[in-house]
Amino acid sequence: MRNHDALPGADDITRVVLPNGTVVLVRENHNARSAVLAGSLNAGSLYESPERAGLASFLASALLRGTRSRDFATIHEMLESNGASLSISGGRHTAGFGGKSLAEDLPMLLDLLADALRNPALPGDQVERLRGQIVTGIKIHEQDTRYVAGHMFRQLVYPPEHPYSRQTDGQIETITAITRDDLMDFHRYHYGPSGMLLVVVGAVDTAGVIQWVEDRFGDWENPDQPGTPDLPDVPAPDSVRAQTRIMPGKSQADIVLGFPGPSRLVDDWQAANLANSILGVFGMYGRIGAEVREKRGLAYYSFSRLDGGLGPGSWRVVAGVNPENVDQAVGAIVAELERITGTLVTDEELADNKANFIGRLPLQLESNEGVAASILTMERYGLGMNYLREYAGIIQAVTADEILAAAQRYLDPRAYALAVAGPEPPAASTPAQPGERGD
């Protein structure tokens, strides 16, 4: 896939919308005998109440635990005996699914997917077993300084009523309170064909795949399925919002410092994405890694991340540090934010990061999984089926001025959310303001 013509595009991706709203996208690739499917439904944590936080993820994880016609053992025996895989998981906006099999076993994979999405039995013993696993996972996470800092950061940067302020896996008390009826009701109201995306890539016949999908999903209807809820506004911080969580027995402090960022749908997404790469991704984690970790030796790791997505995902810097270095690390991070928002990136930085963005694209498309994920992204964000072929030109067109403008729009070194989780720091090293220390 090193040349333009080998990149997936409108002439070799077939897109069909079924009468019930399901969007099917197929690309043939007969270089391997496998077939990959990927997709999503509009059934993420946006649709759950705060009192039932974790419900969407709980349900998604339970769907392959048994259906009305197949029990847990039967489902997994079918997959294992055919060397196939299938998974369903819950996210913020969607429930996602993915699977892989030999091309000749794709009808079996689609059978299992349709059965799980449409006819879950949610057997009580499996629900309780899964509940125990989720609670155990949360307890483990609650002892992880990076996880705790990340959760506090979300609560600082997003309003309490915003679904992004919550963890998708919920809390122990909410998971414990969720009943089987809650799971069934969420499935009844939120699982349906409207907004469903299904991508198949591999050694398949396009017309055959579309017929197989139509046979299994074409008669699916859910008149109760709601539209996508509007997200509350997320105002940028107007001051430093800081909170520290003391976690006895830990040797490392984790810092998360950041802002509400842009969605993937905005015009300056690529400029912000390149700014983030220069700030804390490229090479040894960009400027942040070079300054905070390599030059000053203040962090075990330090990088920046820009979430994007369908809503205002966060733009944040993460660092793991010696508790004595918290203040110095925060100061060094803020200095790099001042730099990225105060001056143009260099010609060398711009050229290197553009070359990295463009050069890694073919590597992402060397597998059917990578192609399926890219097609799903193009459809989800309305990028157009020729986006991959236009990608190099899109990246090359981004200017240093646009990168500076995007950084200035979303990053403010004077006003940010700051969460720190770790052991008791020296008195002079806590960034929390009086009265703001968490429990």
> Which tokens in the block code for residue 19?
């009468």
CB-based contact 334:326 (threshold 8 Å): no
- Please identify, in words, the CATH class of the domain defined by 241-429: alpha beta
How large is the angle between the packed helices 269-280 and 400-410, nearest 10 degrees?
Answer: 90
Is residue 257 classed exposed, middle or buried when 0-12, 13-18 and 19+ CB atoms within 10 A define those classes? buried
Helix, strand and coil in the chain, % to nearest 5: 50, 20, 35
Q: Which pLDDT tens digit goes with each residue over 278-298?
A: 999 999 999 999 999 999 999
Burial of 252 (0-12, 13-18, 19+ CB in 10 A): middle
pLDDT at 426: 67
SS3 assignment, position 118? helix
DSSP state, 96? E
Give me the mean pLDDT over the 258-273 stretch.
Answer: 97
Q: Say yes or no to pLDDT of 434 above 50.
A: no
Is the pTM for the entire model greater than 0.95? Answer: no
How confident is the model at residue 232, as a pLDDT? Answer: 87
**Closest C-alpha to 376, from 305, 281, 309:** 309
Phi first, then psi: what are they for 373, rounded to 5°?
Answer: -65, -40
Q: Quickly state the pLDDT bin for 2 (edges 50, 70, 90).
A: very low
Cβ atoms of 34 and 28 within 8 Å: the answer is no
Q: Which residues contact 110 (CB under 8 A, 6 or more apart)?
A: 37, 212, 213, 216
Average pLDDT over residues 171-197: 97
Cβ neighbours of residue 372 closer than 8 Å, sequence gap 6 or more: 36, 37, 38, 98, 199, 200, 201
Torsion angles phi and psi, residue 17, rounded to 5: -105, 115
The model's confidence at residue 4, banded by pLDDT at 50, 70 and 90, is: very low
Angle between helices 326-342 and 400-410 (to 10 degrees): 130
- Do 4-217 and 241-429 share a fold? yes
429 pLDDT above the threshold of 90: no
Domain chopping of the chain, boundaries: 4-217, 241-429
- In angstroms, the CA 417 to CA 59 distance is 32
Q: How far is CA 151 from the centre of its chain?
A: 15
CB-CB neighbours of 153 under 10 Å: 27
C-alpha span between 61 and 127 (Å, rounded): 9
Q: What is the pLDDT of residues 386-425, one digit of tens each?
A: 999 999 999 999 999 999 999 999 999 999 999 999 998 7
- The residues that bridge with 374 in the sheet, in sequence order, are none
The predicted-structure confidence for 333-367, as pLDDT tens digits, reads as follows 999 999 999 999 999 999 999 999 999 999 999 99
Length of the chain equals 439
Rounded mean pLDDT, 241-246: 96
Query: Looking at domain 4-217, what is its CATH homologous superfamily?
Result: Metalloenzyme, LuxS/M16 peptidase-like (3.30.830.10)
> Per-residue pLDDT for 126 more than 80?
yes
Residues 314-318 have a mean pLDDT of 98
- The structure tokens listed for 355 are 């070359």
**What's residue 6's pLDDT?**
83
